[in-house]
Structure 1
């Protein structure tokens, strides 16, 4: 196939240096369209959304699709939108989990300033701190070394909204009420309940890590293609990673006996349930009859 010329039109805010036309190989990869526009406009390729002028459908930014496969032909129009400053999803996750990772030790070791008490932390408060720190250290490790992200970036301004859930509910909310001198954790522990909580936390965290590794291995590096996940929990619910995360937090709740932990679990479960249902619909659409449909998104027999 020969070269074709595409008409480039700005959509929304003006884009400086946006070319009026670009020339691409019809049998070349579709990602060359995004790259040529990014090079000319001097914007990050992730900051630009390219859609077909004819029907507004996105033009794939992938090496698996050719320009001809997108339906674009000579003199076709494409619209380019500036999405604004972007931030990588990996950075977003690091910032989200960094909040609780810093807040819990600060509140725990700053009890004299925050609560005006000289009373030392109890054994339960110490265990609660260890569990929370271990959880978010694991999250940071997974973000840096396990997770692969289907989308490279998101609008930078959204980082505040995304971080609020973790910084407020699992950070300030959880830490303030767990390490207070009047908190249930300040009293004596029931060894049976405490050790049960620690066991649930450990099992939940390890199986959650296992499911994340399974999901990672479904996608080839540098692609967004996914396979059908199989393994422990995947035959019961759509997202066993969410289920095992809830199990680990139930473990924290049994140790801390704090209502704030329960509030965080309920809010997190509601959000993860919505994500799980969305993923179930995507699996059914993407894999059809090859995919074994699930009745429950995250909690077997419940939700």
Structure 2
């Protein structure tokens, strides 16, 4: 047995001495601690510990988060040096499941696009380009929902409830812009040039649309396959990060971002509407930032084992 001293970082929590073992899963300790503090949702409680970090000039302590799904030992708590260790508990407020957040993120665009397509505008007045744009958009978000419910695994169970609005804002706001701009009647002649630019959608021929539609569906399938490869890495139930191999992972760390970028590039060029380009630029910028950060984390975690010639998101370039 070892002794774990749980120090509160939130006023409503209590300091508790806990007798446990190094191979006890942290989630079990958090559940017991939450019950002792009358906290109905254990996901509100996050544990951390202080680790030494050399800062060249002086030593300083850095607070590191503990992962609920790991044991105390797997989290790096070394009871070989001392039988009593300190950890810190904080109430991080109302939580919401990652899967729930993703589901709502993608449900919003499907509702918004459908309301504009069938309600605010008339579906019977749509050009072939607009019809394909709507169906491709719906297909994309239906694929996202399928991945959310049946493919994705998450390193953490929950996130702060307030993040729901931050995360959904990107998809919901851009969906409003695209739906308002892309599905408007193309037969209307605007006296104000501003509105003619806002609502302009390229009038593509059926032969052109076959190529655009085929290319976007292909990139969506490639994106889906990347997620399946990532899912297989955790088929044993573990949440630990592993090095993905095969398919486009040979060239980049995050080909799922690459195919997402290619998919929406096709959509933007096909519609040739300003809102599609805004969504493309905003989404690509975010994905490039994520890819750069996660790529650096991969290299730091796996060191020489990580493929040296693999780029973050764009083969041979970025």
TM range (shorter): 0.7 to 0.9
Matched position secondary structure for 2:249: coil
How far apart in 2 are the matches of 1:157 and 1:282? 26
Q: CA deviation at 1:129?
A: 0.6
Contact 2:128 2:206 in 1 (8 A): no
How far apart in 1 are the matches of 2:182 and 2:90? 47
Q: Corresponding residue for 1:10?
A: 8
Unaligned segments of structure 2, at least 5 residues = 52-60, 187-198
Contact 2:151 2:227 in 1 (8 A): yes
How far apart in 1 are the matches of 2:23 and 2:149? 36
Map Cα deviations across residues 59-96 of structure 1 (whole Å, 9 max, x no partner): 44334553895125444332210010100000000111
Contact 2:130 2:182 in 1 (8 A): yes
Matches of residues 60-75 of structure 1 in structure 2 within 5 Å?
A: 60-66=67-73, 70-72=77-79, 73-75=82-84
Matches of residues 35-74 of structure 1 in structure 2 within 5 Å?
A: 35-43=31-39, 44-52=41-49, 55=61, 56-66=63-73, 70-72=77-79, 73-74=82-83
How far apart in 2 are the matches of 1:208 and 1:131? 14
Contact 2:250 2:310 in 1 (8 A): no
Question: TM-score by structure 2 length?
Answer: 0.84
Q: CA deviation at 1:268?
A: 0.5
The Cα RMSD (Å) is: 2.4
Cα 1:94–1:118, aligned 2, differ >3 Å: closer, same or farther?
Answer: closer
One of 282, 296, 314 as aligned partner of 1:281: 296
Q: Corresponding residue for 1:263?
A: 278
Cα 1:39–1:200, aligned 2, differ >3 Å: closer, same or farther?
Answer: same
Q: Corresponding residue for 1:167?
A: 172
Q: Corresponding residue for 1:78?
A: 87
Q: Corresponding residue for 2:139?
A: 134
How far apart in 1 are the matches of 2:116 and 2:22? 60
Q: Corresponding residue for 1:184?
A: 200
One of 89, 96, 112 as aligned partner of 2:98: 89
Cα 1:49–1:188, aligned 2, differ >3 Å: closer, same or farther?
Answer: closer
Contact 2:66 2:75 in 1 (8 A): no
Cα 1:286–1:69, aligned 2, differ >3 Å: closer, same or farther?
Answer: closer
Q: Corresponding residue for 2:30?
A: 34
Does 74-83 or 23-32 show the bigger shift? Answer: 23-32
